[in-house]
Amino acid sequence: MITITATLYRLVSAGMRAAILASALATITLAAPAAAEAQKNAPTILITGASTGHGLAFTEEYARLGWHVIATCRTPAKADRLNALAGKFPNVAVEQLDIVDDTQISALAEKYRGKAIDVLMNNAAINTFRFGARNFAKIDYKWFEEVLVVNVIGPMKVSEAFQEHVAASRQKKIIAMTSTGGSIAEVTVPIAIPYRASKAGLNMAMRSYSIALKAKGIIVSIIAPGTVDTEDYMNAKDPSTVPANYQTMIKGNLLAPRTAINDMIKLIDRLTLEDSGVFYEWTGRVIPW
């Protein structure tokens, strides 16, 4: 690599200038294919539920790292923020995927047949603490069913459909985004029964799946991401613009900083087969079942 200031360049002879230019051009010509090669060899991640929250934040951070990101969501036409990210990062592809729609799952798996997917991130979920202790007797069982189907069956269906893509990759990782609320050992208050039951069910499904996939060298990791401040409200220039519920969470120290997304990326990078089937918190703490 040649570094030369404009002043120095003016002082040297014409012959020397030509040599400098030729060398610089050669560097550029060599660097372009090297960059293209690096981009071609970059790992690939498929993320479900990438239109909002954690999924959107992971899409942005993996895109910044140069990964190929297949960012899926139910309604791409309405996913304005995700589409804006795809406009900014050419390595982000937006795809439609409802994780409980068999036709869409098969169509997307078929579209990417032969493509190695290093990390499959099952992030999409019905993420709600609806139905607290006081209305325990009023659980809407249709809703309960929907939560179980989306949060437990959806990630399993997507994982099975893309298992071969993951098996063909270098990193071979399937991630299930769960919740500390799915830990039976740590439950102390009777709230969010459908959500918690769904995450406990997801944990069991993924733990069993991890045993089945170990022989294939595929790591299945169960990670509780915590309530991450994905909008970075903690660092808002004008705190009065922060929604009231987030102001309360910030005061109560109930939010993990936006950088928790980067911490989880590092945690995912470090995973080995030894970690397969382990229930992790985003901090790296192992959560009891």
Ligand X SMILES: NC(=O)c1ccc[n+]([C@@H]2O[C@H](COP(=O)([O-])OP(=O)(O)OC[C@H]3O[C@@H](n4cnc5c(N)ncnc54)[C@H](OP(=O)(O)O)[C@@H]3O)[C@@H](O)[C@H]2O)c1
**Which residues here bind ligand X, judged by CB under 6 A?**
48-49, 51-55, 73-75, 98-100, 123-127, 150, 154, 177, 179, 224-227
Please, what is the minimum distance in Å from the beta carbon of residue 202 to ligand X? 8
- Shortest-Cβ-distance residue relative to ligand X: 53
Cβ proximity to ligand X, 228 vs 271, nearer residue: 228
Q: How far is the CB of 97 from ligand X (least distance, A)?
A: 6
**Cβ 53 to ligand X, closest distance in Å?**
2
Report d(CA 47, CA 114) in Å as an integer: 18
Report which of 225, 84, 93, 109 is spatially closest to residue 159, judged by C-alpha positions. Answer: 109
Q: Up-side HSE of residue 71: CA atoms within 13 Å toward CB?
A: 34
Q: How many residues does the chain have?
A: 289
Q: Which residue, 25 or 254, has its beta carbon nearer to ligand X?
A: 254
Tokens 């189907």 found at: 149
Give CA–CA dist 113/246, Å, rounded.
42
Shortest distance in whole angstroms from residue 225 CB to ligand X: 5
- Pick between residue 168 and residue 191 the one whose CB is nearest to ligand X: 191
| C-beta closer to ligand X: residue 124 or 218 | 124
Tokens representing 217 are 């060298």
- Helix, coil or strand: residue 42: coil
- Nearest one of 118, 113, 121, 145 to 43, comparing CA atoms: 118
For the CB of residue 276, give the shortest distance to ligand X in the complex, in Å: 19
Residue closer to ligand X by CB (options 166, 177) is: 177
Q: Which of 174, 202, 181, 200 is nearest to 268 (CA)?
A: 174
